[in-house]
Structure 1
Amino acid sequence: MCRNIRTLYNFAPPASEDEVRAAALQYVRKVSGFTKPSQANEEAFDHAVAAITAATEELLGSLVTNAAPKDREVEADKARKRAQARYTLVAKAS
């Protein structure tokens, strides 16, 4: 589950509210063990997602850096190349 949480800081354009909420949702899912909570736990689950979303937005808003913002497409291409190299090595080892 947490593999879907990506670095959100120092990108151009900045992370959207949807991206921040998606990361918070993945975190709560991982910690709680629920993909979708029962009705009895839904309120607590939704409250946790909202609280973590707010904390994440506050964190991202208060961080500072001198580094230039990263380009999402360039970083995604680097990740694809790393994955391809990793899976090529795994396939050769098998």
Structure 2
Amino acid sequence: MCRNIRQLHNFEPPATTSEVEAAALQYVRKVSGSTRPSQANQEAFDRAVAEVAHATQHLLDALVTTAAPKDREVEAAKARARAQERYAR
């Protein structure tokens, strides 16, 4: 999976629309192999981002869990610690 796409499920507060759209954009960029589509492909690219974001939001709304919600700050700190360890070598 693309490293820039972050887990969005089971966080408090829930994922925002902008987070869902950012993940959708990263997914479409990865699949299409293009960060900036040509003018000829812009409409298809934008439509794909909107459809993936829509499907992602439906998925997040439908998922259920018994686990306690994660804290964004705690998870971010863990990610920074993992990155520091990984790149310190």
Aligned residues: 88
- Which TM-score applies when normalising by structure 1? 0.90
Show structure 2 runs of 5+ residues with no match.
Answer: none
Show structure 1 runs of 5+ residues with no match.
Answer: none
Residue 41 (structure 1) aligns with: 41
The AA in structure 1 aligned to 2:11 is F
Pair 1:6-2:6 in alignment: yes
Pair 1:82-2:55 in alignment: no
In structure 1, how many angstroms separate the alpha carbons of the residues matched to 2:21 and 2:48?
A: 11
The AA in structure 1 aligned to 2:37 is P
Larger Rg: 1
- Which TM-score applies when normalising by structure 2? 0.95
Q: Deviations over 1:15-55 (max 9, x none)?
A: 00000000000000011011111111011101100110000
Q: CA RMSD in A?
A: 0.7
**After the TM superposition, which residues 43-58 of structure 1 pair with which residues of structure 2 at under 5 Å, given as runs?**
43-58=43-58
In structure 2, how many angstroms separate the alpha carbons of the residues matched to 1:5 and 1:54?
A: 16
In structure 1, how many angstroms separate the alpha carbons of the residues matched to 2:3 and 2:79?
A: 13
In structure 1, how many angstroms separate the alpha carbons of the residues matched to 2:34 and 2:87?
A: 29
How far is 1:84 from its partner?
1.1
The structure 1 segments of at least 4 consecutive aligned residues displaced by more than 2 Å after TM superposition are none
Residue 31 (structure 1) aligns with: 31
